[in-house]
Amino acid sequence: MITFDLQKNLGDFELNVRFELGEGDFLTLHGPSGAGKTSILRMMAGLLKPGHGFIEVGNECWYDSAKSIWKKPQERSVGMVFQDYALFPTMTVRENLAFALPKKGDHRILDELTEIMELGGLEHRKPSQLSGGQQQRVALARALAKKPQLLLLDEPLAALDQGMRLRVQDYLLDVHRRYGLTTLLVSHDMGEVFRLSNRVLTLEKGRILRQGSPSEVFTHKNLSGKFQFTGHVVHLKQEDTIQIVSVLIDNHVIKVVATPEEVRGFAVGDKVIVASKAFNPMIRKID
Amino acid sequence: MNQLEGTIDRIDSKGNLSVVDIQVGGSILTTIVIETPETVSYLRKDLSINVLFKETEVMLAIEKPGRWSVTNQLACTVEKIENGELLSKISLSYEGHPLQCLLLTRVVRDMGLMSGQAVWAMVETTEIMLQA
């Protein structure tokens, strides 16, 4: 169990969040820029000191304003990955990973991570010789080398193209399950939120607006249709008496038949919800 | 999307499924949903709710169907027909509420549908969504 109660004046607003995370939870912090998401991550990592509150991780106290406890980043069992990979440019992949290992750390974890993240063959390369996706896999492996109790991810995949993003998400899901991690992710990508996290906090100006599972927070709970997705309109075309609307959902484009009245005022780029009953879609196993 | 307002008349639940009867004007519409009164607040007898179904999922019959598996049958009047080359849009009125239905133009022709005509509009139980 990880409990945090964080309060701090962030200039424009007062950050005030209290939340409990269970072991194995994958929590996404979601909300507009400047809502306080990265500040929360930095406070959890020990890089930014809150004004008041506490952070408890298992039986350990990382921060308690009442008892003047403030653990330094290196005293906390956290792994961090940011959008910019922040790898040491002069070190090879292997050296970057080894640097993160605690002094008496077991080098076998590096071999294991190299295998899981499919970095074999890249170990002796420098970061500049790697693609964005490869660099981010190294950054993730490095964050996991000390087997952290808490993994902090700040838009780690934002700089990657869609295909690479999906592949790195698979790696993330794999290590999250394999190592029983508790993960805190900042993301704006709705597909990513649904794919990775089991819990979501929506923040605005430092306060929790909504919380729950991604479907509780983002789908229209008042609509009974269970085949629900959110996406963006990419194309609208009148065909005979109907409109065919193409919607980008994750990295798939789907088509919806609608009446012209139903989609009046729709424009390319609009965010939409697509819903049908769970009774309608066919499902079939593929190889 | 067709939308009619109704009142929940009856809920039969088993496991995670509920069959819901909604009184809409003088008719009862029935739907099945993967929710129960325990999982959502809108499943309560006498609560007002919107019934939604797609224009493409509406069937029309000129005579009242007898022993049909589709029990959702609304007595409507054809208000307007817009013929496309392949698909036609039929505007209907159910007790004064507008409904729409998309049919193949050749079917509209074969049935001899005309505005002012009385028809029965039918919707499958599995095609009706509820919105609180």
Name the residue type at position A244.
I
For residues A222 and A64, the answer to whether their CB atoms sit within 8 Å is: no
Q: How many degrees, rounded to 5, is the angle at CA B44 between CA B43 and CA B46?
A: 130
Total count of residues recorded for chain B? 132
Residues 72-111, chain B, touching A (beta carbon < 8 A): 82-89, 100, 102
For residues A55 and A77, the answer to whether their CB atoms sit within 8 Å is: no
- Kindly list the residues from chain A whose CB atom is less than 8 angstroms away from the CB atom of residue B132: 222
Distance from CA of A238 to the nearest CA of B (A): 11
pTM passes above 0.80: no
Task: Please say if the pLDDT value at position A286 is more than 90.
Answer: no
Percent of chain A scored above 70 by pLDDT?
99
- Tell me the per-residue pLDDT of A58-103, one tens digit each, with 9 for 90 and over: 899 999 999 999 999 989 999 998 877 678 999 999 999 998 887 7
- Tell me the per-residue pLDDT of A247-264, one tens digit each, with 9 for 90 and over: 998 889 999 999 988 888
Q: Measured between alpha carbons, how far is A170 from A205 in angstroms, rounded to an integer?
A: 32
* Residue corresponding to tokens 């949903």: B33
Task: Please say if the pLDDT value at position B16 is more than 80.
Answer: yes
Q: Which of A221, A225, A240 sits opposite B85 (nearest CB)?
A: A240
Return the bridge partners of B85, or none: none
- 3-state SS, one letter per residue, for chain B: CEEEEEEEEEEEEECCEEEEEEEECCEEEEEEECCCCCCCCCCCCCCEEEEEECHHHEEEECCCCCCCCCCEEEEEEEEEEEECCCEEEEEEEECCEEEEEEEEHHHHHHHCCCCCCEEEEEECHHHCEEEC
pLDDT number for residue A219: 67
pLDDT band at residue A210, thresholds of 50, 70 and 90? Answer: confident
Q: What is the mean pLDDT of residues A95-124?
A: 86
- Tell me the per-residue pLDDT of A137-186, one tens digit each, with 9 for 90 and over: 899 899 988 889 999 999 888 877 777 788 888 888 988 988 889 999 99
Q: Do B130 and A240 make contact, defined as CB atoms within 8 angstroms?
A: no
pLDDT number for residue A201: 93
Q: Which domains does chain B have, with CATH numbers?
A: 2-131 (2.40.50.100)
List of E strands, A130-241: 150-154, 182-186, 199-204, 207-212, 227-239
